[in-house]
């Protein structure tokens, strides 16, 4: 039941088709970052990426670049807003 509450809360603000970016602090403090390149590329932190699918605590993201889609934890994502 605790898992349901944790996964329901983010999915309400992040829905399929939403534009997102990776939260640098949340990602760099995660287990996933230790399994990845020490110097991640800038584009996931700058955004936008389109949210394609949500399954449990994870979301599939497609970036506007010629790179593969990725799965990231929802709590590492934030809504992308164009900076003026």
pLDDT digits (tens, 9 = 90+) for 48-71: 999 999 999 999 999 999 999 999
Residue 58, C-beta contacts closer than 8 angstroms, at least 6 positions apart: 71, 72, 73, 74
Q: What's the domain count of the chain?
A: 1
Q: Is residue 84 part of a domain?
A: no
Percent of the chain with pLDDT over 70: 83
Residue 63 sits in a domain whose CATH number is 2.30.30
Q: Is residue 60 part of a domain?
A: yes
- Give the predicted TM-score (pTM) of the model: 0.76
Q: Is residue 17 part of a domain?
A: yes
CB 60 within 8 A of CB 32: no
What range does the domain containing 68 cover?
Answer: 2-79
pLDDT on residue 10: 45
């Amino acid at each position: 039941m605790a898992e349901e509450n944790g996964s329901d809360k983010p999915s309400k603000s992040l829905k399929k088709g939403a534009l997102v970016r990776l939260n640098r602090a949340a990602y760099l403090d995660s287990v996933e970052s230790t399994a990845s390149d020490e110097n991640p590329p800038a584009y996931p932190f700058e955004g936008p990426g389109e949210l394609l699918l949500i399954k449990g605590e994870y979301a599939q993201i497609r970036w506007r670049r010629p790179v593969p889609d990725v799965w990231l934890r929802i709590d590492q994502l934030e809504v992308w807003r164009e900076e003026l």
